[in-house]
Structure 1
């Protein structure tokens, strides 16, 4: 009984993983959003689904490899009373 349950769960997991991969398109009766101002053509569904640079900024992995003295900052002034 236990092996049968495990086999059933495995088959359900495999079935859940085989989703269809068709091109994106609007639902029936709906259309894509209007063309943005000053754009030559309306963006495609794929372009609308791609996040922009503000949504996914690039990561900077530059590591500080050694201690370095800071350069003198002429704008680092003490507070005035």
Structure 2
């Protein structure tokens, strides 16, 4: 690649990094906010609405295996029964 191509790619990359604005979310003009949930004292804010709940992003609580183990015998792992013809 020549210097001109690299400079063009650098400008495009710089322009793309400037695209992500960091402004607080606001409702569109003439649009109502969501209703207050039952039992909540106030309506949720925009930041609260975009935060995933614990149920949406549960934490992993299972310890991963670091070594493989031989599978124990399963008494319910039976071959299928032959169907009479």
2:63 corresponds in structure 1 to: 62
2:46 corresponds in structure 1 to: 45
Question: Judging changes above 3 Å, is the alpha-carbon distance between structure 1 residues 8 and 64 closer, same or farther for their aligned structure 2 residues?
Answer: closer
Relative to the length of structure 2, the TM-score reads 0.64
Q: For the residues of structure 2 that align with 1:44 and 1:27, how far apart are their CA atoms?
A: 14
Q: For the residues of structure 2 that align with 1:11 and 1:36, how far apart are their CA atoms?
A: 47
Q: For the residues of structure 2 that align with 1:61 and 1:55, how far apart are their CA atoms?
A: 17
Greater alpha carbon shift after TM alignment, 56-65 vs 36-45: 56-65
Q: For the residues of structure 2 that align with 1:61 and 1:3, how far apart are their CA atoms?
A: 52
Q: Is the 8 A contact 1:32 1:45 kept in 2?
A: no
1:34 corresponds in structure 2 to: 35
**Ranges in structure 2 where 5+ consecutive residues have no aligned partner:** 70-85
Q: For the residues of structure 1 that align with 2:2 and 2:65, how far apart are their CA atoms?
A: 55
Cα distance, 1:63 vs. partner? 4.5
Q: Is the 8 A contact 1:36 1:42 kept in 2?
A: yes
Q: Is the 8 A contact 1:34 1:42 kept in 2?
A: yes
Relative to the length of structure 1, the TM-score reads 0.66
Q: How many residues are aligned here?
A: 67
